Amino acid sequence: MSDIKTVAVLGTGVLGSQIAFQTAYSGFDVIAYDIDDKALEAAKDRFQRLVATYKAEVPGAARGKADETLSRLTLTTDLAEAAKADLIIEAIPEILSVKQETYQKLAELAPAETIFATNSSTLLPSDLAASTGRPDRFLALHFANRVWKFNTGEVMGTPETDPAVFDQIVRFAGDIGMVPIPIHKEKAGYVLNTLLVPLLNAAMGLAGGGYAEVEDIDWTWRIATGAPMGPFQILDMIGLTTPYNILTHGPSGDPKIAAWLKENYIDKGKLGVATGEGFYKYA
């Protein structure tokens, strides 16, 4: 166990709502913070939908455990309330200045011993450490979308992170049902995206470059490696907007393939599973 009793999650969007719910589901009292009442209303809807999802997809959740989870979740627009938690997990928009400003405000409100963790996918914790006022008690705890199912918890500090805090967050990740993945040095993309982004880009390069059909590329990957999903099935599940942004702005970008993706899929509203069609059609 990690000695952490109360947890606050900043941001109740796609990932923040899942992190808050999963943490409360695991028995912790959770304060979920967002900027205004409108965002909190949306959060209530997300939590209700998560109750239904857990009942359908998490073994045992339908026997009262998913419903009970709501009683451990408190919603607030008061950052000072959130600052009372032992651990604060930040899942606000992926905009450096917004995160830095939020950490600066939080640094003044939270006691010195409070641990801060960012769920940022593309920023390094070093980009944010100075704003936290406690670089030794700050690190990344990175979740994957649909935390109840894809339950990795990648833990990555900066050179300034106290090793005892790092170990505590590794234990905490386990306490909330994640498989902790300790990362020993800072690495953009953590483990998952360091592996996944080149695979997805290569697959789109093959299809967009006219080398092979989407379905055949997926078949190749599944048959030859035993993987359950091919790269285009994964892309459809992620949604095509983020991969498009990575191809357009990322260090491994490719303007030709980005244009292919835009013209054939994005401009036609084929954004993946969420819109009913991407590379494949969904019922």
Active site residues: 121, 142, 154, 193
Given the complex with ligand NAD, which of 56 and 98 has the nearer CB atom? 98
Given the complex with ligand NAD, which of 34 and 218 has the nearer CB atom? 34
Q: Is 10 helix (H, G, I), strand (E, B) or coil?
A: strand
Given the complex with ligand NAD, which of 120 and 131 has the nearer CB atom? 120
Residue 116 contacts ligand NAD per CB under 6 A = no
Count the site residues for ligand NAD by CB under 6 A: 21
Residue 153 contacts ligand NAD per CB under 6 A = no
Q: Quote the CA–CA distance of 261 and 264 in Å, as a whole number.
A: 6
Residue 182 contacts ligand NAD per CB under 6 A = no
Q: Is 32 helix (H, G, I), strand (E, B) or coil?
A: strand
Residue 200 contacts ligand NAD per CB under 6 A = no
C-alpha pair distances (Å), 244 with each of 14, 141, 191, 199, 269: 19, 25, 21, 14, 13
- Is beta strand 87-90 parallel, antiparallel or unpaired with respect to 152-156? unpaired
Residue 11 contacts ligand NAD per CB under 6 A = yes
Residue 140 contacts ligand NAD per CB under 6 A = no
Given the complex with ligand NAD, which of 118 and 168 has the nearer CB atom? 118
Given the complex with ligand NAD, which of 39 and 62 has the nearer CB atom? 39
User: Which parts of the chain fold into alpha helices (H)?
Assistant: 14-25, 37-57, 66-69, 79-82, 96-109, 125-129, 163-175, 192-208, 214-225, 231-238, 241-249, 255-264
Q: Quote the CA–CA distance of 82 and 6 in Å, as a whole number.
A: 10
Q: Which residue in 4, 8, 9, 15 binds ligand NAD (CB under 6 A)? A: 15
Q: Quote the CA–CA distance of 190 and 181 in Å, as a whole number.
A: 9
Q: Which residue in 27, 93, 253, 276 binds ligand NAD (CB under 6 A)? A: 93
Spell out, one character per residue from 62 to 91, where the chain touches ligand NAD: x when CB under 6 A holds, - when not. -----------------------------x
Residue 132 contacts ligand NAD per CB under 6 A = no
Instruction: Provide, rounded to whole angstroms, the least separation between the CB of residue 145 and ligand NAD.
Output: 3
Neighbours of 81 (CB within 10 A): 15
Instruction: Provide, rounded to whole angstroms, the least separation between the CB of residue 107 and ligand NAD.
Output: 14
With CB atoms as reference, the residue minimizing the distance to ligand NAD is 13
Q: Which stretch binds ligand NAD (CB under 6 A): 8-16, 147-155, 166-174, 180-188?
A: 8-16
**Sign of CA pseudo-dihedral 18, 24, 28, 31:** positive
Neighbours of 278 (CB within 10 A): 24
Q: Is 223 exposed, middle or buried (0-12, 13-18, 19+ CB in 10 A)?
A: exposed
Given the complex with ligand NAD, which of 11 and 135 has the nearer CB atom? 11
Return the residue matching tokens 């600066």.
Answer: 104
Residue 223 contacts ligand NAD per CB under 6 A = no
Report the interface residues with ligand NAD, using CB under 6 A: 10-16, 34-35, 39, 91-94, 98, 102, 119-121, 143, 145
